Amino acid sequence: MEKIDQIDSRILNELQRDSGQSLESLGDKVGLSRNACWRRVRALDEAGIITGRVALVDPMAADLGLMVFMQIRTHSHDPDWQVRFNRAMRTIPGILSAYRMTGDLDYLIRARVKDMAGYDALYQHLIHQVPIADVAASFVMEEIKDSTALPL
């Protein structure tokens, strides 16, 4: 697959809204037969354009009502530290996203926890796995927009 065309973009937009819909429904929405739609979705999967399909869970129903952004500064940039940090990011429950940043900040972490005690447990878990120079946290008071859909 060389390029995402207009029909592929429409398919991807629909799948980002609801990946569980039937091929018949998807085909109707994008103007393709079920089989033609299936071939396109399979090609998008095989090309690695579709990287996975998930169910989105209401954080309140999962008792994870507090979202926190952690700003991390480190005094170590050696490869061993980075391996340990990356491993911690992949294994600590509650960490949803982690990004290496430019500028004054080294890393930005987005996490979900139950409450402040849950944040403290996550913080303690993190600092026991890897040394960190400074951690600052900001807690979300209101989620205005939170989306996983890319604008295609």
pLDDT digits (tens, 9 = 90+) for 57-109: 999 999 999 999 999 999 888 999 999 999 999 999 999 999 999 999 999 99
Domain range summary for the chain, segments of one domain joined by +: 6-46, 66-139
Architecture of domain 6-46: Orthogonal Bundle (1.10)
Parallel, antiparallel, or unpaired for β 66-73 and 107-113?
antiparallel
Domains 6-46 and 66-139 share a fold: no
pTM of the model: 0.88
Distance, first Cα to last Cα, the chain: 17
pLDDT for position 77: 87
The three-class DSSP label of residue 73 is strand
pLDDT at residue 5 above 80? yes
State how far the Cα of 126 lies from the Cα of 8, in Å rounded to an integer: 41
pLDDT at residue 1 above 90? no
Mean pLDDT along residues 128-149: 96
State how far the Cα of 126 lies from the Cα of 97, in Å rounded to an integer: 14
Q: Which CATH class is domain 66-139?
A: alpha beta
Q: What value does the mean pLDDT of the chain take?
A: 96
